[in-house]
Amino acid sequence: MTQAVELLQTQRLRVRNWQDGDRALFREINADPQVMEFFPHRRTADEADRLMDEANAAIAATGYGIYALERKDTADPIGFCALMPVNLPGIFPHEAVEIGWRLATRFWRQGYASEAARALLDHAFDVRRLDAVVSFAVAANLRSIAVMERLGLVRIPALDFDHPRVPDTHPHLKRHLVFAVTRDAWHASRQTQQKTLPIP
């Protein structure tokens, strides 16, 4: 079994690497037609297992990757939030880092994706000292785009692109809208949020 490694905690979540007990959840979210609506194919159980193992290897090697999200009150995995290199040469610079998320449907609309992403953006800018983080989604993926906007990421239309790994059989999934936030903008937004919090 992979040794448990926790990256950080939020009010309700632990952000950590993957454990063997997470495989059923990881298989579920990679095969669920609702979760994978804006991706060109679902993954088999074997494909999901390989991806989970690759995610753990990447986290161990670089600290970047697809992190498991675990509810602190139940210790159950609910999905993932990723902070990892974009790896789309010719579209983004080689140092570009993206943030993304995917949750089992029963955990939607509870603020978990935003909560985990805020913590990972703090980590990206305060620990990793990144200059900027990007995120992108199919134009019709309004749920993910709404999360990006809630986080304060800003649309960069000049960077919109046709995803080279989406096959021509799925033309409606090719065009991706790009959002980004810089370290300075993130810190400014966090300071504004702190100033507007009610005094206890």
Mean per-residue pLDDT for 12-37? 97
What percent of the chain is modeled with pLDDT above 90? Answer: 90
Residues 110/75, Cβ–Cβ less than 8 Å = no
CA atoms within 13 A on the CB side of 91: 19
Q: Look at residue 11 in the predicted model and tell me its pLDDT.
A: 96
Mean per-residue pLDDT for 99-126? 97
Report the alpha-carbon distance of residue 103 to residue 147 in Å, rounded. Answer: 13
Does pLDDT of 198 surpass 80?
no
Q: Look at residue 3 in the predicted model and tell me its pLDDT.
A: 76
- Between helix 142-151 and helix 112-122 the angle, nearest 10°, is 50
CATH fold, domain 6-196, is Aminopeptidase (3.40.630)
Phi, psi of 60 (to 5 degrees): -65, -35
